[in-house]
Structure 1
């Protein structure tokens, strides 16, 4: 594996981003929607094996004290190789000294706990697709 990281949105195959999110069971939209979301983010990280996009993640932030991580996904055939940890750590380096929140599938909480994330006792959400989020275990 010839791994390289990229920190900007130039020359990204946005349909690949959409398909990767779909393949791992995460929320996905048309590639153009993901392009806009990543371009409007504070930090983006894309992982490539040679020229093949294999993972990514992004964060929004005020750059001072609050950040949120979104859309962290690794192609299934590359999971378990430390790429997700590398993406998260690269994001965290770029939003250091801020509070960081994220939401994840319940079965992925252990991964984030290993990276020192902890469950919040006081968290609230107003989801656009509330019923779907409830069915997927994100909300009560």
Structure 2
């Protein structure tokens, strides 16, 4: 594997981003929606094996003391090779003075715990489709 990381949105196949999110069981939309989300983010990381997109992630932030990490995804056949960890750590390097929050896909909590994320006791969320999020196991 020839891992390359990219820190901008140049030449990204947004339909492939959508496809990878679908393959890992995460929410996915038309490519243009993901393009807008990533382009409006504070930090982005895309991982490639040669020219093949294999993973990505992004953060929104004020750049001072708060950030939120979203869309951490790695193709299933590349999981377990530290690619997700590299993506998260590179995002955290982009917000060195910030706290970072995220919500993990159900069953992926241990991955983030290995990266020193802690479960929050008072975390709250407002979801536009709370029934869907409840069915997926994100909320009670």
**TM-score between both structures, scaled by the size of structure 2:** 0.99
Deviations 1:19-42 (A, max 9, x none): 000010000000000000000000
Distance in structure 2 (CA, Å) of the matches to 1:90 and 1:81: 16
Q: Aligned residue for 2:136? A: 136
Deviations 1:89-108 (A, max 9, x none): 00000111211000012310
The residue matched to 2:118 in structure 1 has which SS? coil
Q: Where has structure 1 moved over 4 Å in runs of 4 or more?
A: none
Is 1:92 matched up with 2:92?
A: yes
Gaps of at least 5 residues in structure 2 are none
Q: Aligned residue for 2:74? A: 74
Distance in structure 1 (CA, Å) of the matches to 2:110 and 2:121: 17
The residue matched to 1:36 in structure 2 has which SS? helix
Q: Aligned residue for 1:6? A: 6
Is 1:83 matched up with 2:58?
A: no
Distance in structure 2 (CA, Å) of the matches to 1:92 and 1:122: 22
The number of aligned residues is: 140
Deviations 1:20-65 (A, max 9, x none): 0001000000000000000000000000000000000000000001
The residue matched to 2:107 in structure 1 has which SS? helix
Distance in structure 1 (CA, Å) of the matches to 2:139 and 2:91: 26
Q: CA deviation at 1:129?
A: 1.1
**TM-score between both structures, scaled by the size of structure 1:** 0.99
Distance in structure 2 (CA, Å) of the matches to 1:71 and 1:129: 18
Q: Aligned residue for 1:114? A: 114
Is 1:21 matched up with 2:21?
A: yes
The residue matched to 1:106 in structure 2 has which SS? coil
| Root-mean-square deviation over aligned CA pairs | 0.5
The residue matched to 1:26 in structure 2 has which SS? coil
